[in-house]
């Protein structure tokens, strides 16, 4: 058995465990699912994290695109959640953060507030920004 098979760690409320064939994620709807790459296992947990929230949430990539968003954003619209003109600025804030570090982003033209979390899912592509809308009671102002 390789050393890789002895690796286990938490990631966004889930657990990733290295096995001989790749990486298993817990919890997962398919208990026998094995990901070939660690980045695929991390992506699954990032998507699951966004989907589990009761506030709008998504993942912004280095091109300023919402690479994923939850059902709340689907209903409200991507542009209403994070207008295009702010996405690269939000991603730039992410670049200044260490992985899993967060910062609050307040839109200047509205009372909408986001939490930005820097994540490194795949080292080949660099960080992504995990963003979620904060309810009014958590606003900093």
Q: What CATH number does the domain containing 102 carry?
A: 3.30.450.20
Do 38 and 77 share a domain, yes or no? no
Strand partners, 131: 58, 116
Strand partners, 11: 14
Task: Please state, in angstroms and rounded to a whole number, the distance separating the CA atoms of residues 115 and 22.
Answer: 32
Do 78 and 140 share a domain, yes or no? yes
Do 117 and 59 share a domain, yes or no? yes
How many domains does the chain divide into?
Answer: 2
Note down pLDDT in tens along the chain; length 141 residues: 455 557 888 888 899 999 988 999 998 889 899 999 999 999 999 999 999 999 999 999 999 999 999 999 999 999 999 999 999 999 999 999 999 999 999 987 777 899 999 999 988 888 999 999 998 644 444
Do 70 and 117 share a domain, yes or no? yes
Task: Please state, in angstroms and rounded to a whole number, the distance separating the CA atoms of residues 102 and 22.
Answer: 29
Task: Please state, in angstroms and rounded to a whole number, the distance separating the CA atoms of residues 37 and 77.
Answer: 32
Do 69 and 113 share a domain, yes or no? yes
Structural contact between residues 133 and 112, judged by C-beta atoms closer than 8 angstroms = yes
Q: Which domain holds residue 87?
A: 53-141
């Amino acid at each position: 058995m390789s050393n890789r098979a002895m690796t286990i760690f938490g990631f966004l409320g889930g657990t990733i465990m290295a096995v001989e064939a790749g990486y298993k994620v817990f919890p997962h709807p398919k208990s026998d699912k094995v990901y070939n790459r660690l980045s695929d296992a991390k992506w699954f947990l990032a998507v699951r994290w966004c989907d589990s929230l009761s506030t709008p949430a998504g993942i912004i990539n280095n091109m300023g695109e919402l690479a994923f968003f939850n059902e709340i954003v689907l209903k409200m619209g991507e542009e209403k959640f994070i207008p295009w003109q702010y996405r690269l600025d939000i991603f730039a804030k992410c670049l200044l953060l260490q992985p899993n570090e967060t910062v609050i982003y307040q839109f200047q033209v509205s009372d909408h507030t986001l939490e930005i979390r820097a994540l490194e899912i795949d080292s080949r592509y660099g960080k992504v920004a995990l963003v979620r809308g904060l309810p009014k009671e958590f606003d900093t102002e």
